[in-house]
Amino acid sequence: MMKLYLDPGHGGSDPGAQGNGMDEKTVNLDIARRIRNILNQDYKNVHVRMSRTYDRTKSLSARTTEANNWGADYYLSIHCNSFNGSARGYEDFIHSSLSDSSTTAAYQDTIHPEIIKVNQLQNRGQKKANFHVLRETTMSALLTENGFIDNAQDAALIKDASWRQTVAQGHVNGLAQAFNLKKQEDPKQLYVIIAGSFQSKKNSKDRVNYLQSKGIEAFADAVTISGEQWYRVQAGAFSKKENAEAQLKRVRDAGINDAYIIHG
């Protein structure tokens, strides 16, 4: 069993980088969720734990302590960049104390090209830095910077849900190679709880906030239906139908009568 600690950077009172109408914390969480979902659905013998599954504040030390105590095999931190509006591209980091022949560097050598293959971003290279999450983790760790949120060209990609899905798949492809992950013979059927669809982004955010106030994890995903953009609120995805039905009951008990289950 490979244990991945997946860390969407920033969150809550810390928005991270900001630009072109976006907060980094939101993008990081979306990409991380997609990585988790792909791994859970398509691969066997991998256990994913996320530092946060919704928009909340969590200290860097809390994240690394949790990963260390859990005994994670790998720490993957998801970020976006910002600089001066003109910088562009993708880069990733391992800790500055590590040699190019270290195990952590070998993982970076495997994962980096898989992400670059698909992300349509300028390749800024494989780098090293003294970031907390790279320094304080007892396992190998990588931090990815998925484009510059304050650059108009990168931001146009970052805003696109299909691009974020592709970037998540690139991360997964790299992880699968680095850790020799095996695909499910028959990928799991997921039962996804939909707790409302809205043409207004604000209305979808209001629904997400309401569900989270009731202790139900939720997020809004942009989808195109009959040529129009909608914001669909998801409140969980389950491989077992009975678990999905139990979650659907929770959502309906919270007053969302129009919630239903789809096959993901």
Separation of alpha carbons 107 and 39, rounded Å: 17
Q: H-helix or E-strand containing 9? A: none
Per the CB < 8 A criterion, the answer to whether 158 and 80 are in contact is yes
The one-letter amino acid at 195: A
Q: Tell me which residue of 84, 108, 106 sits closest to 19, measured CA to CA.
A: 84
- First-to-last alpha carbon distance for the chain, in angstroms, is 24
Separation of alpha carbons 148 and 206, rounded Å: 28
Tell me the catalytic residues: 145
107 three-class SS: helix
